C-alpha cells in the first residue's frame, strides 16, 4: 500500500473578501474587514489566516508622499541621470533604503530598512490616487510586522478567535522573471517552518529543509488579489494547519525571520 493511501485528502480554501472600498488615510481596516466578512457571509474561526495587501495597509497608515514636496539631493540627481528616473522618486528610494544592490536604466534594486531586497524600495505609483492634481506615491508600511500584529490583536479582540495575519506585496526575484506575492509582515504564525530533523518517506532525517510558509501563502492569496483593478485586497485562507504558540524555538517569527543574513547570502 502506498504511504499516501492511509492519509485523508488534504484541502485548503482561499476566499477573496468582497466589498472592501478604496482605503484612505485613517480608515479602520478592522471595521472594513469585518464588514466585508459579513457581506461575504463568512465569520472568522480559530486558525484562519488573513492575507492583506500591503497597499491598503499603507493607505490606512497614510504612507503617501507628494512628489512636489520632495527635494532631490545631489546623490539622487546623479542616480536619476544614470537610471533615467524622476529625481524626486530616486530621493525617496534612497531615503527608504539602507543599500543600493543594483542599478540600471529604469530600475534601482535596493535593500530597504527592513532588509528586503526589491525594486525601487517598494514605492508604488499604481492604484494611487492624485491629490489636488498633485502626483503621489505610496511607501511601504513603516513596520509591517508591527502592522500585522496590531491588525491581528484588534481582530482577536473584536471576534474572540485566534487568527493569523500576513501582509503581502508583489516583489520580483533574482534569476526569475515576474513578481510573486511575498510576505512583508507576519503575526500569529511562524514565517518559516523548520523541518530539519523530521523524517522523510524513508525515515531519513531532513538536514536543511526550511519552508517559507508565509511566502507560499502570500503567493497563493496573490492569485485572487490580482495586480490591476480587481479590488480584492484581503484573502481568507482556511484549512492550513500551522504551529501555534509556543512555536518551535528554531522557527522564525515575523517576516523579518525570512531575511537571509548577509554572511550567509552567497548571491551578494
Task: Indicate which CATH number applies to the domain containing 207.
Answer: 3.30.1330.100
The DSSP 8-state label assigned to residue 214 in this structure reads H
Q: What is the pLDDT of residue 230?
A: 66
pLDDT in tens, 53-110: 999 999 999 999 999 999 999 999 999 999 999 999 999 999 999 999 999 999 999 9
Q: b/e for 35-50, b at 16 or more Cβ within 10 A?
A: ebbeebeeebeebbbb
pLDDT, position 1: 44
Q: Does the pLDDT of residue 6 top 70, yes or no?
A: no
Give the pLDDT score at 251: 43
Domain boundary among 139, 157, 180: 139
Within this chain, do residues 54 and 147 fall inside the same structural domain, yes or no? yes
Report, in this order, helix, strand and coil percent for the chain, each rounded to 5.
Answer: 30, 25, 45
Are 135 and 150 in the same domain? no
Domain that holds residue 92: 64-139
Which pLDDT score is estimated for 2? 53
DSSP state of 24: -
Cell numbers linked to 248: 518551535
195 and 219 inside one domain: yes
| Residue 157 CB neighbours (<10 A) | 9
Residue 3 has pLDDT above 60, yes or no: no
5 lies in some domain: no
Here the cell at position 216 is: 507560499
If we measure between CA atoms, which residue out of 208, 178, 192 comes closest to residue 257? 192
264 located within any domain:
no
Number of Cβ within 10 Å of residue 27's Cβ equals 16
In a domain, residue 3? The reply is no
197 falls in which pLDDT band (50, 70, 90)?
low
**Same domain (yes/no): 119, 234:** no
% of the chain at pLDDT higher than 70: 87
**Predicted confidence (pLDDT) per residue in 112-164, tens digit:** 999 999 999 999 877 677 666 678 999 999 999 999 999 999 999 999 999 99
| Same-domain pairing of 54 and 153 | yes
Residue 108, domain member (yes or no)? yes
| Closest listed residue to residue 144, CA positions, set 15, 14, 235, 259 | 259
- Interatomic CA distance for residues 166 and 50, integer angstroms: 6
**Domain termination residue (choose one: 139, 174, 201):** 139
Whole-number pLDDT of residue 174: 86
29 and 19 share one domain = yes
Q: Half-sphere exposure of residue 26, counting CA atoms within 13 Å on the CB side? A: 0
Task: Say if residue 194's pLDDT is above 80.
Answer: no
Instruction: Give kind and range of the element (H or E) at residue 137.
Output: strand 136-138
The enclosing domain of 68 has a CATH number of: 3.90.1660.10
- What is the per-residue pLDDT for 250? 39
Beta bridge partners, 112, equal 97
The whole-number pLDDT of residue 223 equals: 95
Instruction: Output the pLDDT for position 133.
Output: 65
pLDDT digits (tens, 9 = 90+) for 25-55: 999 999 999 999 999 889 999 999 999 999 9
74 with 199, same domain? Answer: no
The DSSP element (H or E) to which 182 belongs, if any, is strand 176-187
Q: Is residue 53, in this structure, part of any structural domain at all?
A: yes
Which three three-digit cell numbers place residue 232? Answer: 480584492
Distance CA 60, CA 210 (A): 33
Q: Both 112 and 20 in a single domain? A: no
pLDDT of residue 85: 95
Q: Give a yes or no: residue 2 inside a domain.
A: no
Inside any domain, residue 216: yes
Residue 214 cell numbers, joined: 508565509
pLDDT at 264: 84
| Position 265 in a domain | no
Please report which confidence band the pLDDT of residue 229 belongs to, taking 50, 70 and 90 as the band edges.
Answer: low
CA-to-CA distance for 255 and 268, rounded, in angstroms?
A: 20
**Structural domain count, the chain:** 2
User: What pLDDT shows up at residue 131?
Assistant: 65
Is residue 16 domain-shared with residue 28, that is, in the same domain?
A: yes
Residues 124, 226: one domain?
no
Q: How far apart are CA 141 and CA 147, in angstroms?
A: 7
| Same domain as 93, residue 51 | no
Amino acid at each position: 500500500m502506498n504511504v499516501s493511501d492511509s492519509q485523508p485528502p488534504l484541502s485548503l480554501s482561499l476566499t477573496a473578501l468582497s466589498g472592501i472600498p478604496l482605503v484612505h488615510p485613517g480608515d479602520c481596516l478592522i471595521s472594513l474587514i469585518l464588514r466585508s466578512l459579513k457581506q461575504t457571509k463568512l465569520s472568522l474561526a480559530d486558525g484562519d489566516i488573513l492575507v492583506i495587501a500591503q497597499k491598503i495597509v499603507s493607505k490606512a497608515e497614510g504612507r503617501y508622499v507628494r512628489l512636489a514636496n520632495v527635494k532631490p539631493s545631489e546623490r539622487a540627481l546623479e542616480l536619476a541621470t544614470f537610471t533615467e528616473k524622476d529625481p524626486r522618486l530616486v530621493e525617496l528610494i534612497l531615503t527608504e533604503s539602507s543599500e543600493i544592490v543594483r542599478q540600471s536604466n529604469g530600475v534601482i534594486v535596493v535593500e530597504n530598512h527592513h532588509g528586503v531586497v526589491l525594486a525601487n524600495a517598494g514605492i508604488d505609483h499604481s492604484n494611487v490616487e492624485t491629490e489636488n492634481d498633485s502626483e503621489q506615491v505610496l511607501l511601504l508600511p513603516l513596520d509591517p510586522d508591527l502592522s500585522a500584529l496590531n491588525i491581528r490583536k484588534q481582530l482577536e479582540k473584536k471576534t474572540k478567535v485566534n487568527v493569523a495575519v500576513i501582509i503581502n506585496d508583489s516583489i520580483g526575484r533574482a534569476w526569475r522573471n515576474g513578481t510573486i506575492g511575498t510576505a512583508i509582515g507576519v503575526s500569529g504564525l511562524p514565517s518559516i517552518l523548520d523541518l530539519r530533523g523530521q523524517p522523510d518517506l524513508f525515515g531519513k532525517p531532513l538536514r536543511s529543509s526550511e519552508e517559507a510558509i508565509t511566502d507560499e501563502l502570500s503567493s497563493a492569496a496573490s492569485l485572487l488579489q490580482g495586480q490591476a483593478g480587481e479590488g480584492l485586497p484581503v484573502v481568507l485562507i482556511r484549512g492550513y494547519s500551522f504551529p501555534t504558540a509556543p512555536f518551535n524555538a528554531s522557527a522564525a517569527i515575523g517576516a523579518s525571520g525570512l531575511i537571509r543574513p548577509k554572511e550567509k547570502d552567497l548571491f551578494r
